[in-house]
Each structure stands twice: as C-alpha cells, then as structure tokens.
Structure 1
Amino acid sequence: MPNFRVKKIKELILPFKKDEVELEWMAENNNVILIYTKVNEESFFLQIKKEENYFIIKGDKHTKPSKIAYLQKSLQVFKDYFCNSEDIVSEAFAFKHNALIEKTSLIAFDFDQLLSKIKGRIYIEIGFGSGRHLLYQAQNNPDILIIGVEIYNPAITQVAKLAKSQNLSNIILIQSDARLLLSALESNSVEKIFLHFPVPWDKKPHRRVIAKNFCLECARVLGKNGRFELRTDSYEYFDFTLKQFLNFNTPKFSLKKNEKLEISSKYEDRWKRQNKDIFDLWVWNLDRVCSESNLDDFNFSDITFDTNDLIFLEKNFKNFTLKGDDYFLHFENLYQAKRGLIFKIAFGAFNKPEHCYICVNNKIEFLFKKPFKIKENLKAMEKLKKVLKFHFDIA
C-alpha cells in the first residue's frame, strides 16, 4: 500500500482542493485520523496513523479506490501542502500523471462496474491462474461474456495483457473471492461455472471454495440448463465436491477420468508429467434456488437519533463481536467527526466478510457503498439496527 512517513503535519484546514483531489472532512479517534477524499468520481479515506515519533499517511485498505493512481495522487497532494519536505522520514509511492489514464476495460475494479458490463450469455471461471483455459473459452465463444475471478492481482494483469494482445473483448476480470462474486450476480444468469485445479486443501477442508453455501449459490445463478465443471488432480477434492452436490434433490452428473481437452493449463501439464490422474465432474439440473435478498432491506429510515443518543453511543462504544448461526457483526472502531459518529464495522458471512463505515447523526447512512445483497449481510444489518437503537444494550 502506498504511504509515506513524516515527523509532523501542518494544521488540517478542510475542505481543501487541488486539481482533481478534494480533501473534504475528517474523523478521528486517539490513534487515527481519517480524511474523506474524492478524486474524480471516486471517494475513499486517507488514513493518518499516529506513531511514537512520526505519522504514517496511507490509504485505508477497506475503502481504497479502483485506480491506485488516485491514492498516489492524493498522497502527493497531502505531502506537498500539509507537510514540510524536511520533516519527511520516508516515502513509498511514486505518482505518474499518465497513471490516471484508464489502461484497459477488461478489468473491473468493483462489482458495480462489473455488473454494468454484463449483457447476454455468461461463463465464469474461478481461479483462472495463467488464463489458458479462460482465453480459450473467449476465443471459441465470441458471443459469450467470460468473467474471470482471481484473488491474485498479478495474474489478472497478465491475463488482461494477453487478452488485449489477442484482440479479445468478451472478457471481464475481477479480483475477488468467488463466493462473493456469485452472491452479487442475478439468479439464473450464468450458463457455465468452471473451477479448474483449485487448491485441494486436503488438511484444511474448511478453506475450500466448495461448501454447502457455494453449491447453493451455484444452483441459484446457473440457468435452467446451466452447468458447473470441476477439473482436478485431487481425488479427495473430486469426491468431496460430488458429495456436496448430492445433497440436491435431482442432480445430474458426468464423471470422467484422464479426459484429454484441447487446452491444458500449466498445472495440468505438471501433473501429467508426474503421471497423476485428472478427474472431471460436471453437475447440472440443480434445484432452483430463489434469492431472498432485497437492496431495500438496507434501509435505516425507521431509526433516528438525537444529541443525547449520540453522546450515549460514544460513551458506551466498545470493540465487540456478535455471532449468529451463519453471520457475524463486529464493531471495530469509532471516530468522531463534525457530521456525527463514524463506526467501522465488519459483518456478513464468516467466509466472506465485508467492511464498511457508517455515519450516525440524526440517522444512519453508509459513507461509501451499500453492502452486497446476500442474506448474511441482511441479517447483520438487522442486528446493527437493534444494537444502535438500544444503545448497545442487547450486545
């Protein structure tokens, strides 16, 4: 994360604007100052952390902008106008003006951007790695949008370059947990889901992407004839996945061993050199699953606060976690601002938590984007309403 260290900073007089960077207002507690920052169409927090002999200025990791150049430019402006050069201890960022130019439309930086590009037929590949199979699918299915989800950013950048060099435009890549991606998609919107050579996690099966909730999400997003395809060198993972999908009422399967495909990943090539078996599992005809979520349920209009409420909330705030059967709500931090109290919370499903900031004044509002519409988030937000309404008494 880009950052710099400085011995002292000048008085923060906000709002402040320079070029496309706007530093609008701040919130603080004993250890951290948050500065609400806007660059062009995006908003995020700059974070000033107080250390013993200096300050660290960096981006808040849970609100970071889609383009790293936005953060770098903001740090540059803050350093130029709120710090003296002789007080700079170190810096680890380098802003280039041409970095603000959008380099490719093949990468989506958030789900809103991805969803806005979805039209027509969809395939999804989870953990595409070097991208051989994903690029093959894009080449052979020009009328289908291929969505690639990967947790490693270097893989995303490399595959985007390869796609561009091959003049492929029916690809969108995103850095995310696949389970969260599926949660953001509409029901019956996907034709195929590929999961090729996932990490088997034989000694830590709880870390596998395959689980009951994942299978339910596959059933929800796959269309009537939609299909899930697993290819793996791990018989244990193959068997585990089969058993998970057998929990549906009338699933249909295709099981193959050592099937030769037209395209082979680098991992598959490695396993074949080691004479390992390769297993394929195709699954379809899954029970139809309807989404219970509704964005309107993230509405806090029925709760209001007065000055005494805010004083009581601030006085009684503590770092604590509430857990339900399939969700949690964790209060991480509280910040004071002129516009009200700023709470940082983590919440949602245990295997795909979200973080957000909410502002509590006479009402509750999200500072940035609303959470994704999954049932675990809805349950957490209902609990949040009750906790704030009763001033932490139900915690």
Structure 2
Amino acid sequence: MPNFKVKNIQDLILPCKKEEVEFAWLAENNNVILVYTKLEEENFFLQIKKEKNSFIIKADKHTKPSKIAYLQKALQVFKDSFCKNEDVISESFAFKQNAFIKETPLIAQNFEQLITKIKGRIYIEIGFGSGRHLLYQAKNNPGILVVGVEIYNPAITQVAKLAKAQNLDNILLIQSDARLLLSVLESNSVEKIFLHFPVPWDKKPHRRVITRDFCEECARVLGKNGRFELRTDSYEYFDFTLKQFLYFNTPKFSLRKNEDLEISSKYEDRWKRQNKDIFDLWVWNLDKTSNDIVLDDFDLSDIVFDQNDLILLEKNFKNLTLKEDNFFLHFENLYKAKQGLLLKVAFGAFNKPEHCYFYIDKKINFIFQKPFKIKENLKAIEKLKKVLKFHFDITLFS
C-alpha cells in the first residue's frame, strides 16, 4: 500500500485544494486522523496514523480509490502541502503525471456500474483466473455477455488486456466475492454459472464458495433452463456440491468424469499431467426455495440527533459486536469531526461483510455509496438505528 512516514505534520487548515486534489475536512480520534479527499470522480479517506514520534500517511483500506494513481497523487500533494522535506522519514510511493490509466469498458468498478451494463443474455464465471475459459465462452457466444468475477485484481487486468487484443466486447469483469455478486442480480437473469477448479478447501470446507445459501442464490438468478456447471479435480468438492443441490425438490444432474473439453485451463493441464481425475457436475431445474423479497431502501430519515445526543454517543461509544442468526453489526471506531461525529461500522452477512462510514450531526448519512440492498444489510442497519437511538446502552442489546 503506498504510504510515507514523517516526523511532523503542519497544521491541517481545511478545506485545501491543490493540483485538482481537494482535502475537504477531517475527523479524528486518539490514534487516527481521517482526511476526506476528492480527486476527479473519486472520494476517499487519507489516513494519518499517529505513532510515538512520527506519523504514517496512507489510504484508509475500506475507502481507497479504485485507481492507485489517484492515491499516489493525493499522497504527493498532501506531502507537498503539509510536510517539510527534512521531516520525511521514508516514502513508499511514486506518482507519475502519466500514471492515470483510461477506464476500460470491460471492467466494472462497482456493482452499480456493473448492473447498468448488464443487458440481454448472461453467463457468469466465478474465479476465472487466467481467463482461458471465459475468453473462449465470449468468443464462441458473441450474443451473450460473459460476466467474470474474481478476487485478484491482477487477473482482472490481464484478462481485460487479452479480451481487448482479441476484439471481444461482450465481457464484463469485476473484482468481488461471487456470493455478493449473485445477491444483487435480478431473479431469472442468468443462463449459465461456471465454477471451474475452485480452491477445494478439503480440510476447511467452511471456506468454500459452495454453501446452501449460495445454491439457493444460484436457483434464484438462473432462468428457467439455466444451468450451474462445476469442474474440479477434487472428488470431495464434487461430492459436497452434489449434496448441497440435492436439497432442492426436483434437481436434474449431469455427472461426468475425465471429459475432454475444447478449452483447458492451466490448472487442468497441470492435473492431467499428474494423471488426476477431473469431475464435472451440471445442475439445472432448480425450484425457487422462496419468493423474492421486496427490500426497502436504507432509510435513515427517521432518526434525529441534538447536541446532547452527540455528547452521549461519544461518551458511551463501545467497540461492540452484535450477532444475530444471519447477520452481524460491529461498531469499529468513532471519530470527532468539526460539527459532528464520524462512525465506522462493519455489518451484514457473515460471509460478505460491508464496511461503511456514517456522518452524524443532526441527521445520520452515509459518507460514501450505500451498501448493497440485501436483507442482511437492511436488518443490520435497522439494528444500528436502535443502538444509536439508545446511545449505546449495552443492556438493551446483550
């Protein structure tokens, strides 16, 4: 993570704008100062961590900009504006004026952007890695949008370059957890879901992407004739997945072993050289286990604060975690701003948590974009409102 370390920081007189970078306002607690930073379409926090005889300046990890060059430029302008050269202890970033990379239409920066681009027929590939299979599907199905979800950003960048080189424009890539992607897609909107050679986690099955909830989400988003396809070298994973889908009422399956496909991933090539078996599981005809739930928006308008409320919130704040059957709420940090409080919270489903900042003055508002509208997040926000209403009185929530 780009950062630099200094002995001293000059007075932070905000707002301050230089070279298109605006440092708008700050909030702080005993250990950290957060500086709200704007650069073109990006908003994020620079984090100033206080140490015994120095300060470390870097990005807040849950709000960092999508482009590393934006962070590098913000660090450079901050250093030039508020630090003396002789006070710099170390520096681990290098901003170049030509470092900004043009947006590519093949990569979605967030789910809101992705959803606006999804139209027509859709395939999804989870964990596409080197992209051989994803690119093959896109090339052979020009009328279908192939959505790839991957947690590793270098894989996304590399596959986007390969798609561009092959003149493929029916690909859309996003960095995320696949379980979260499925939760925000419309019902009956997907024709195929591919999961090829996932990490098997044979000794830690709780870490697998396959769960009962995941299978139910597959059933929801797959259309009438939609199909889920698993390809794996792990018999344990194959067997585990089959058992999860057997909970449905009328599933149909196709089971295959050592089937040769027209396209082979680098992992499959490796397993074949080792004479390992390859298992295929196709699943379709999945009944919907429940009707779609109409979800309300994140409405915070019904909670109002006065100055006494802010004093009590600051006084009573606790690093507190509340757990329910299918969601949690963790109050992480509270910061003092010029005219209010800044609250950092983690919440939502256990396997797909959100991290959000709220600004509290007379009202409470999200600082950055709202979280994804899934039932676990909505329940957590309702719990958050109750905790704030009663000023962190733990006896009411234990």
- The AA in structure 2 aligned to 1:294 is L
Match of 1:325 in 2: 325
Q: How does 1:192-203 map to 2 (within 5 A)?
A: 192-203=192-203
Q: TM-score with structure 2 length normalisation?
A: 0.97
CA distance in 1, matches of 2:119, 2:167: 19
Match of 1:273 in 2: 273
Match of 2:161 in 1: 161
Deviations 1:221-267 (A, max 9, x none): 11121111000111111110011011111111111111111001111
CA distance in 1, matches of 2:292, 2:88: 52
CA distance in 2, matches of 1:270, 1:293: 46
Identity fraction in percent:
79
Q: Does the Cα contact within 8 Å between 2:258 and 2:277 map onto a contact in 1?
A: yes
Q: How does 1:1-395 map to 2 (within 5 A)?
A: 1-288=1-288, 289-292=290-293, 294-296=295-297, 298-393=298-393, 394-395=396-397
- The AA in structure 2 aligned to 1:229 is E
Q: Does the Cα contact within 8 Å between 1:334 and 1:344 map onto a contact in 2?
A: yes
CA distance in 2, matches of 1:293, 1:279: 38
CA distance in 2, matches of 1:360, 1:142: 49
Task: Look up the SS of the partner of 1:148 in the other structure.
Answer: strand
CA distance in 2, matches of 1:300, 1:55: 36
**Structure 1 gap ranges (5+):** none
Q: Does the Cα contact within 8 Å between 1:9 and 1:83 map onto a contact in 2?
A: yes
Matched length: 394
Q: Does the Cα contact within 8 Å between 2:357 and 2:367 map onto a contact in 1?
A: yes
CA distance in 2, matches of 1:93, 1:307: 41
Q: Does the Cα contact within 8 Å between 1:3 and 1:56 map onto a contact in 2?
A: yes
Tell me the CA shift for residue 295 of structure 1. Answer: 5.0
CA distance in 2, matches of 1:161, 1:104: 9
CA distance in 1, matches of 2:305, 2:37: 26
Q: Does the Cα contact within 8 Å between 2:19 and 2:77 map onto a contact in 1?
A: no
**Structure 2 gap ranges (5+):** none
Q: Does the Cα contact within 8 Å between 1:187 and 1:290 map onto a contact in 2?
A: no
CA distance in 2, matches of 1:226, 1:32: 49
CA distance in 2, matches of 1:12, 1:375: 41
Task: Look up the SS of the partner of 2:99 in the other structure.
Answer: helix
CA distance in 1, matches of 2:166, 2:378: 42
Q: Does the Cα contact within 8 Å between 1:147 and 1:173 map onto a contact in 2?
A: yes
CA distance in 2, matches of 1:262, 1:281: 17
CA distance in 2, matches of 1:69, 1:327: 35
Tell me the CA shift for residue 339 of structure 1. Answer: 3.3
CA distance in 2, matches of 1:290, 1:78: 51
Q: TM-score with structure 1 length normalisation?
A: 0.97
